[in-house]
Structure 1
Amino acid sequence: MVAATFTTGAFVPQVYKTWKEKSTKDISLVMYTILLLGVLMWLYYGFSLHSLPIMIANLVTAVLLIIMIILKLIHK
């Protein structure tokens, strides 16, 4: 759970900064989209194992990535 908290929490400052500054020029839409696909695969894996830490960490990460992708599309 500690590792999941750190890796998931690492996205929070970027989401906050992007939300606050409304600037996404240095953010790669392709990278965030590929990362989202990988996180969704981990989420599926967590559900198949019934592993709460894997499910929670990847669900939260997926939400943060979706927010970033939406912000990127809005603030081109």
Structure 2
Amino acid sequence: MKRVVLERRKRGLSQSKLARLADVNQSCMSRIETGKEPPYPHRGRRIAEALGWEGDPAELFEEVPDDVLAVVH
């Protein structure tokens, strides 16, 4: 799973809500979260800003272990 999914869920945001906040098409957001489409620098920065992410935006699109999700629930 991509870190962006984890961070989105931590903040209680739906995929469509994050897409709206980041001014990204929802289907594009889905493809980014599943790794089927790269976030591209400008779009990645908008997603990071919408999440309030203070680190390098590229970190949001790295894989994290699935068991990390258990901490969120």
User: What TM-score bracket applies, with the shorter chain setting the length?
Assistant: under 0.3
Higher helix share: 1
User: If the length of structure 2 is used for normalisation, what is the TM-score?
Assistant: 0.27
TM-score by length of 1: 0.27
